[in-house]
Structure 1
Amino acid sequence: MITIHVNEKPLEIDTDFNILQLLKQLKSPQDGIAVAINNTIISKKSWASKTLSKDDSVLIIQATQGG
C-alpha cells in the first residue's frame, strides 16, 4: 500500500494503481472531469497507463455549467 493525496485528502491505494482504477474506487464519473498529478494535467487517453506513485498529489476537477 502507498499513500497519495486526492484533492488534498490522504488515500491509501495498492501499488501499480492507475488513474482509471482510482476513479472507479472513488465512484467518480469519467466524463466531464480533468485529472492532474503533481500539477500536470494527464490526458484522458493516458489514464489507463499512468500509474500513481507514493506521495503523488492528484487533483480531480469536475466541469461545471452555469450562466
Structure 2
Amino acid sequence: MEITINQQQHQFEDLCSVTQMLAIVLSGEAKGIAVAVNQTIITKSTWQTHLLKDGDQVMLIKATQGG
C-alpha cells in the first residue's frame, strides 16, 4: 500500500497503525510529534488502533522550542 507522509510517497507491505508507521519512518521515539491523517488530527491515545489505508495523506508535525 502507498501512503504519502509529508508529501513523500512511502510503500508499506501490509496495513499498519500510526504507531507502526512512526516506528518505521522515524526509526526512533516519536516524542513531540503531532499526526494528522487526511487533514484530521489523530490523538496519541488512538495511534495504536488507527489503521492507515492505501492512499492516506499523513502529516507529521514536530514540536520545536524557541522564542
TM-score (norm 1): 0.91
For residues 28 and 5 of structure 1, do their structure 2 counterparts lie closer, same or farther at Cα, with a shift above 3 Å needed? Answer: farther
1:1-67 to 2 correspondences below 5 Å: 2-26=1-25, 27-67=27-67
CA contact (8 A) 1:15 1:53 kept: no
Which structure 1 residue ranges, 5 or more long, are not aligned? none
Which structure 2 residue ranges, 5 or more long, are not aligned? none
TM-score (norm 2): 0.91
What secondary structure does 1:66 align onto? Answer: coil
How many pairs align?
Answer: 66
1:28 deviates by: 4.7
